[in-house]
Structures are given as C-alpha cells and as structure tokens.
A and B are shown apart, each in its own frame.
Chain A
C-alpha cells in the first residue's frame, strides 16, 4: 500500500511539474505561436500524469469502477480535443495577421500565400 501511495504521489508531482513548465512557458516565450507551443505541455504530460494518478487512486484506494472510467474518459476527451483547438487557433492567428516581433527563421506559409495573391 505504501508503494502504491508513493507511486501516486510521484505521478502527481510529475504532472504538476509539466503543468508548471507549460505555464512558465506561456509567460516566458516571446511571441504568440511559441506560447501556444509551450502550453501544449499542460494537456499532454501534465494531464497524463494526473489522470494516471487519479486512475490508480480510484482503482486501488477507492475500489470504485465508475470513478476510474470517468477519469479515463476525461483524459481521453481532453487529449482528443486539444490538438484541434491548437491547429485552429494558430491558423486563425496567422490569417488575422499576427506575426512575431523577431521575424521567423523560415516562413513557408507566408511565402506560399504571397504567391497566390
């Protein structure tokens, strides 16, 4: 039981570490696209660690199947919906005309759009 407790705590701390990394990244990165990149840390490994910890807790500590299934479904849906939002947001920001202050190393998207015009 103690080993299980330690495992759950380690997973929780790991998830919190990646969530912290994502949040700090949002604050520290210089432009909006890079901020979006850093924030992807939160719903992938941050969420995964916390969901795994909650799953272990529900199965072995609470013996509650309903809780375990709900935790799994929440994790699955966050993982499914997150990339769609990232894709749409980044494209919308680009089409709206948001550009980083320091120019990008390479901008194939802008180049090909200029060709079309």
Chain B
C-alpha cells in the first residue's frame, strides 16, 4: 500500500521534527535544515513501526480530548491511589505482600488500545502486564499482581483495570 506508507512517513516526519524543534528551541536556519534531514531519515526507517493503519482516529476532537482527559485526570487518580498503597506496603512492618500472576480477559480489540491499556497497567505500581495472548477471538493479559485480592479472572480484572478499560475503549474504538 504505497499511499498508506507515504502518509505514515509524513506523519512520522512531522512528529520527529516537532520534537527536534522543541528540544533545540531555536529557529536558526542551520538547525532547521539539520533537523529536517535527520527527521526524514528516521521517518523513512521507523514509520512502519510507528503507524500501522491509515485511519486518522485522532483527527476526531472528541477522541483527542478524551485522550488528554484520560492522561491528566483518570490515569493520575489511579496512579495516586496505587502509589500511596505501594508506599504503605513498603513502610509497613513485615512482608505485607501476597504476589501472584492472574490471567485477565480484556475487551479491547485494536492494537493501539491494547498497548495503551497494557502500559497503563504496568505503570501503576503493584501490577505488571507480563504477556498478551489471543484465544478464541478474545484477548487475555497475564498480570503480575503484588496483592492477589481475588483469584477469579473477571473479578480480578474489575479490580485491576477498573475505569481504565472503559476509557481505553472510548478512545480507541
């Protein structure tokens, strides 16, 4: 698909160039030319890892704003709760942990949504996504959990993912 490839190279180039300008923070003509050359090289080699489909999902303003809202509010709340919980565990007397690996079903189908949810789960202290598998058309996460409160897959998923899964679906599907 040459058209999708061209499109993805352009988008990757623009993102790389934006970061170049932000980091150098100068509008010197030499810096701009060097940045363009480097960004173009990077875009040619890395675009196939960066963009897989030609759908412009983030051009929809509702999706873009819900992504920003998710990052700044929903995710921060989950992060605060988990961080505080983890700090309490560390400072408590004796090993106050109960670790295990649970398998949790996930109702997200798009590639970007899956990776965003998996990385959100890994980032909250207390849970790490270890692997993603697909069985019979449904995706499952293997999650290492520091305190297994419930071993059943559905209930464990409800506790771990909580609101994050709902928001991921809203943003990416």
Contact residues in A for B23 (Cβ distance below 8 Å): 69-70, 73
Tell me whether A40 and B119 are in contact (CB under 8 A).
Answer: no
Q: List B contacts of A13 (CB < 8 A).
A: none
Interface string of B80-107 (1 = CB under 8 A from A): 1001001101110001011111110000
Q: Which of B19, B79, B144 contacts A45 (CB 8 A)?
A: B79
Whether A37 and B146, one on each chain, are in contact in the complex, defined by CB atoms closer than 8 angstroms, is yes
Contact A106 B119 (CB under 8 A): no
Q: Please pick, from A65, A94, A100, the residue contacting B99 in the complex, using a CB distance under 8 A.
A: A100
Say which residue of B87, B118, B131 sits within 8 Å of A21 (CB atoms): B87
Whether a CB of chain A sits under 8 angstroms from the CB of B113 is no
* Residues B128 and A34 in contact, CB atoms below 8 Å apart: no
Number of A residues whose C-beta is below 8 Å from B? 43
0/1 per residue, A50-63, Cβ < 8 Å to B? 00000000000000
Chain A's closest residue to B83 (CB) is A45
Q: Of all chain B residues, which has the CB nearest A110? A: B101
Give the complex CA separation of A110 and B144 in angstroms. Answer: 12
Q: In whole angstroms, how far apart are the Cα atoms of A88 and B88 in the complex?
A: 26
Give B residues with C-beta under 8 Å from A: 19, 22-23, 25, 79-80, 83, 86-87, 89-91, 95, 97-103, 118-120, 122-131, 133, 142, 144, 146, 148, 151
- 8 extra A-B contacts, CB within 8 A, seeds A30-B95, A108-B101: A22-B90, A40-B86, A41-B86, A65-B25, A69-B22, A87-B119, A107-B101, A110-B101
The 7 closest A-B pairs by CB, nearest first: A83-B122, A105-B100, A106-B100, A66-B25, A108-B103, A21-B87, A83-B119
